[in-house]
Chain A
């Protein structure tokens, strides 16, 4: 059984259909990349999975449970975290307060402290700046904070939306290393990226979205050598 299963999902923005009936699945332990051009519906897909948007029809199954109609704020405590596009850290709160909000639904204080230590280990920069307001961090640091914040809920699957967007090449490298680490620590990853090359390099499998439809899918290594993908997304 797939960990996350999307069946015939259709999403509308008013009269405009953004997602035209897509189906895909994510198995436990995988890194799945969702690639595609701007406006293909990648962000919409993630937002629908975590309840920020309501689908017109279709089903979302998480660990066998239908979560299509579960209110957005109840998703994270089920074990699914979402690092949103544009990072969306709480700029006027400190790094520490942001991380604490990541564990908002957890009641086990001692274990939360343990998770916090682990996040600080993975992101030493965040520890150095724990009392700084999140709004004063650089773009790359904010991305780390957004990822650390999501990890604070101890998710079994983490959805990441364009984590490398707008970052300098050094930070892009670092962010992808962190994604690799998150994956190797046992967390399943669903990654949305415009940087198809990088995404395919770390993914097991990938789906290619084009104007609301999945047009191609398969093993990431195979897709990387696909002529149409090379042309459209890898700039070769």
Chain B
């Protein structure tokens, strides 16, 4: 039974990683850049929920909607102000800028909300599910997290396959100039991608803080890096990759913590990543890189 409990916890944590990883992977796919500030957008989303619930006394659903709106706008603004002017710059310049934006967000949060940790109140107020005569207790936030993750992945896949905006995204991710010749507004598509990724970051943040209820300006940092790892693990640029990579990473982390060593759990996670990349440099679902002739 404990094994099952750990396994379920792993899937739940993995679902959060997967939702964050979707943001990394979509932005990478479309804009060909690693948005290292993505993790900190999560943190801003958590503070948005926290403030609107504790200070403004708004109901949980409204607070989550506010957080999604805040992060969506934040994502669009970050792209416009920090990344768009660097569209033709070297990837290294963009990477350094992204790290800069990450520190900027952390320090703004430090300035506004202070360094002391806030205790986050779970937004999922449903009693836990008891199975096997009360031996297996699954917290409701776990169930909500896993279901939400599956719904989000299914919705994104449908969006990309079935809608014009989704097809435009695929076109931009392959060839920006050719997409523009088709009449696709490339800048608009990149903005939309940042908006979706950041909106998802807000959702992930709320779930994360509901499961692990301490909120500091650095809350988003580690999950952000792990979700990035998950995206690379699954094959960056692939939605399925982000999903599978996220879940696997969550399970490996929780199992490692439970059965090997709680101190070494992060080390185990990254060791697995290194192993996977040694065997398959493009990740599980990554396509082999074709040399362009």
With a 10 A CB-CB cut-off, give which of A75, A84, A88, A90 has the most chain B CB atoms. A90
Contact of A101 among B171, B177, B186 (CB under 8 A): B171
Best-surrounded residue of B167, B170, B178 (most CB of chain A within 10 A)? B178
State which of A84, A91, A97 has its C-beta within 8 Å of the C-beta of B181: A84
A56 interface hit (Cβ, 8 Å)? no
Contact yes or no, A73 B185, CB < 8 A: yes
Tell me if B209 is interfacial: C-beta within 8 Å of chain A.
no
Is A76 an interface position by the 8 A CB rule?
A: yes
* Residues of B contacting A: mostly: helix
With CB as the reference atom, state the residue of chain B lying closest to A81.
Answer: B181
Chain A residues positioned under 8 Å from B186 (CB to CB): 73
Residue among A52, A77, A88, A93 making CB contact with B183, cutoff 8 Å:
A77
- Please indicate the chain B residues that have their CB under 8 angstroms from the CB of A50 in the complex: 181
**B-contact bits for A102-114, CB 8 A (1 contact / 0 none):** 1011000000000
> Bound state CA distance, A100 and B177, in angstroms?
17
Chain B: minimal CB distance from A5 (Å): 21
Determine which residue in A73, A88, A100 has the highest number of CB atoms from chain B within 10 A of its CB, and name it: A73
- B178, closest chain A residue (CB): A88
State the Cβ distance, B172 to closest chain A Cβ, in Å: 10
Name the contact of B177 in the complex, choosing from A84, A89, A97, A104 (C-beta under 8 A). A84
- When the two chains form their complex, are residues A90 and B183 in contact, meaning their CB atoms are under 8 A apart? no
In the complex the two chains form, what is the Cα distance from A71 to B168 in whole Å? Answer: 17
Contact with B along A59-72 (1 / 0, CB 8 A): 00000000000011
Chain B contacts with A in 157-193, Cβ cutoff 8 A: 164, 167-168, 170-171, 174-175, 177-186
- Tell me if B183 and A76 are in contact (CB < 8 A): yes
User: Would you give the shortest CB distance from A120 to chain B, in whole angstroms?
Assistant: 19
Contact B171 A93 (CB under 8 A): yes
Please judge, given known A-B contacts A73-B186, A104-B164, whether A90 and B181 are in contact too, CB under 8 Å.
no
Q: What residue of chain B has the Cβ atom nearest to residue A72's Cβ?
A: B180
Within 8 Å by CB of A90, from B164, B171, B180, lies B171
* Contact yes or no, A91 B174, CB < 8 A: yes
Specify which chain A residues have a CB less than 8 angstroms from the CB of B180 in the assembled complex.
Answer: 51-52, 72-73
Residue numbers in B under 8 Å from A97 (CB-CB) = 167, 170
Instruction: Report the bound CA distance from A105 to B182 in whole Å.
Output: 8
Contact call A92/B174, Cβ cutoff below 8 A: yes
Instruction: Determine whether A42 belongs to the interface, using a CB cutoff of 8 Å to chain B.
Output: no
A51 to B186, CA, bound (A): 13
| Smallest CB separation, B265 vs chain A (Å) | 37
Query: A74 within 8 Å of B by Cβ?
Result: yes
- Within A164-185, the residues touching B (CB, 8 Å) are none
The interface of chain B, by Cβ under 8 A from chain A, is 164, 167-168, 170-171, 174-175, 177-186
Query: Which chain A residues have a beta carbon within 8 Å of chain B's beta carbons?
Result: 50-52, 71-77, 81-82, 84, 88-93, 97, 100-102, 104-105, 149, 153
In order of increasing CB-CB distance, the 8 nearest A-B pairs are A105-B183, A88-B178, A76-B183, A104-B182, A72-B180, A73-B185, A104-B183, A101-B182
**Sample of 15 more A-B contacts, CB < 8 Å, known A73-B186, A75-B183, A105-B183:** A52-B180, A72-B181, A73-B183, A76-B182, A88-B175, A88-B177, A88-B181, A90-B174, A93-B174, A97-B170, A101-B167, A101-B168, A102-B182, A149-B182, A153-B182
